[in-house]
Amino acid sequence: MKDFNWANPYPSTRTPLFARNVVATSHPLAAQAGLRMMLKGGNAIDAAIAAAATITLVEPVSCGIGGDCFAILWDGQKLHGLNASGCAPAAWNVEYFKRKYGVGADGLAQRPMRGWDTVTVPGVVSGWAALHERFGKLPFDVLFEPAIEIAQRGFIVPPVVAGKWAKAAEELKDQPGFAQAFMPQGRAPRIGENFRFPDVVDTLKRIAQTRGRDMYEGDLAEKMVAFSREGGGALTMDDLRNYQPEWVDLISKDYHGYTVNQIPPNGQGIAALIALGIAERFDLRNYPVGSIESQHIQIEAMKLAFADLYRYVSDSRSMTLTPEQMLDDNYLDSRAKLIRLDKAGFHAAGRPPAGGTIYLSAADESGMMISFIQSNYMGFGSGVVVPGTGISMQNRGVGFSMDPASPNVVEGGKRPFHTIIPGFLSKDGQPVMGFGVMGGDMQPQGHMQTLVRMIDYDQQPQAACCAPRWKVNRDFTLDIETTMTRDVVDGLHALGHKFHSVDDPYMDFGAGQFVWRLSASDPDAGYVAASDGRRDGQAVGF
């Protein structure tokens, strides 16, 4: 058992949960939906699917039935990885976007940020079905009972969801189907109002009865394609029918006696592994938790990781480098040498040797554990909602590059660079923790910051959740959470870091869920779970 310091030095109303069966999500109703499945005799996978289906309703500002998902799970014997991210419509390529949107000042094709020409094939439903087929225990249709009940009766909108809904509504109100679905009174629902979503009832029933196939070759698929055609989109029945999720081998990196496991590219989990691999060379335990020195080293490691991430990562089938090359120890040694302890840097990509999101975690008393994440991207995603279905479509197409020289260049049937990443911690081949931190490119940064606090500084999961965070932006400036102490902020500024504080914890600093197994050898010892106060969620269990 990890010898945590069980104190929490940060302002928080939350305490860690201890139980033998747990579900932690960013919305209480979703967590309780998962718990209901466990009380029916289901396992952690059943709980995760029920929670995931429910959260598409109660947190539509982050995910939907038209989104993607990834998962890492421990089945009692080994780890498995699932990539259920969708592909570009077959018609997409650089010329497609040039014809429709022209060329920018940089000479590259333009592309929209919302609407049909950002919509990739939705993978999340196929991911639910794939997880259940291999590891589920209860009948598939039973898992949708909580979500269907909520769709019929409605749910009372909580503060964080209401805030993000209001911010998104003004931008998205003119997208096809959005106002009809998400602005029933001509505005976003307010805190405490009951929001009903009757259009999605039949959709959920069809998914439940067909094990998800209706989304890819049935009535729901036909409605999506017809609405796409009407709106000038490229999605076809062949795009949907030909899509399949993929079981993948995980990538990993050892860190101070633990192994951090991630889904391989097209996701950005490799950035967390690169950053941890670089930071380990400085042994952060030599510096106090939260100190200027510790934060500086982590920030610089993250900058180096992002430089390589944005240069090399794409659909694994089109990458010019392998994850193994990017994680090579000698290469990480060379990258670590670029960090100066007395000065912030601006780092370019290296040359390795040749060769809007929700996160949830669930674990049960049999020892089965799952780390699961799903998203529509940029909050509501594309803003497109298929009439009569409640299916809000993702805008993952924004993750493609329009540069023909990039390994991530847009191409039909290809997966875009993806931000959502589930994480899983193991030790000596045994499971330790399912974890994740939502929030765009904050995710690998949140992975590193929370893991460092738990592994190097023995902070318990809820304290690691509550600690103030920083965020490296694409231009290497920093956002600093307003709860970070003034001496640390001043110290980072003195080292040359350029930053500004943004008091918006929902959008900018992520939100995590953590389920830590208390004994490697005895599942009956149970788990400790934490849920981030930056969202409306909770950890529940029995």
What is the set of active-site residues?
357
Chain mean position to CA 21: 23
Cα separations (Å) of 197 from 149, 312, 325, 355? 10, 41, 47, 52
- Taking the C-alpha atoms of residue 420 and residue 408, their distance in angstroms, rounded to an integer, is 16
Chain mean position to CA 390: 22
For residue 405, give the amino acid letter.
A
Residue 413: left (phi > 0), alpha (psi -120 to 50), or beta?
A: left
Q: Pairing relation of β-strands 499-501 and 478-480?
A: parallel
Q: Pairing relation of β-strands 538-541 and 470-472?
A: unpaired
Residue 126 DSSP symbol: H
For residue 104, give the amino acid letter.
G
Q: Are the CB atoms for 66 and 78 separated by under 8 Å? A: no
Cα separations (Å) of 356 from 113, 133, 380? 13, 28, 7
Question: Which two three-digit tokens encode residue 359?
Answer: 């996160």
Rounded-to-5 percentages of helix, strand, coil across the chain: 40, 20, 45
Find, among 528, 462, 488, the residue nearest to 12 by Cα: 462
